[in-house]
Each structure stands twice: as structure tokens, then as C-alpha cells.
Amino acid sequence: MTRALDLLTIVGVSAGCFFFVAGTVGLLRFPDALTRMHALTKADNLGLGLIVLGLLPQAAGLGHALKLVSIWLLAQVSAAVASQLIAGAVLRQRSAIWP
């Protein structure tokens, strides 16, 4: 049973790391702010989500598990709002250059 849980952790955290790497590559390679942000939000949401999912079987109890999930939720909220704000700033800048 513990081996199955450990396997779940390895798969989850590895998949999460994959999305972080993919997001970083996107951040470096994509041409403009909006597409770069698209790559970044994938890393934030999916990558962190998978890592938290992978860590859940290792949690010491319900309290720890809830803490892990709330870390993910808080990161979700802040990433969503931050990307909205950056996108808004980008659009305002664009309309200032090309009215």
C-alpha cells in the first residue's frame, strides 16, 4: 500500500516538475507578453497542482493535507489575479501605441 502511495507521489511530483520546465521553456521562447504569461499560468496551476496532488499521500494527517491544498488554492488565486493585471497593463500599453 505504501509502495503504491509512494509511486503516486513520484508520478505526481515528476509530472508537476515537467509542467514547470515546460512553462519555463515557454517563458523563455514565446514571442510576446501574453503568450509568455499563458505558458507561465500552465506551470503555476497545473504544475503546482500536480506536485500538491503527489505530496498528498505523504501528508501526516488531514490537517497537513488541507494545508497543502490551501497553498495550491492561494497560489491559484494570486496567479490568476496577477496574470489578469499584467494582461490588462499589456492591453493598455498596446492601445496607447496603436490607438
Question: Which residues are at the interface with another protein (CB under 8 A)?
Answer: 74, 77-78, 80-81, 84-85, 88
Give the largest CA-CA distance in the chain: 62
Per the listing, cell 509568455 goes with 36
C-alpha cell at 10: 513520484
Pick between residue 15 and residue 82 the one whose CB is nearest to another protein: 82
Q: How far is the CB of 1 from another protein (least distance, A)?
A: 26
Q: How far is the CB of 84 from another protein (least distance, A)?
A: 4
Q: How far is the CB of 67 from another protein (least distance, A)?
A: 11
Tell me how many helices (H) and strands (E) the chain has.
4, 0
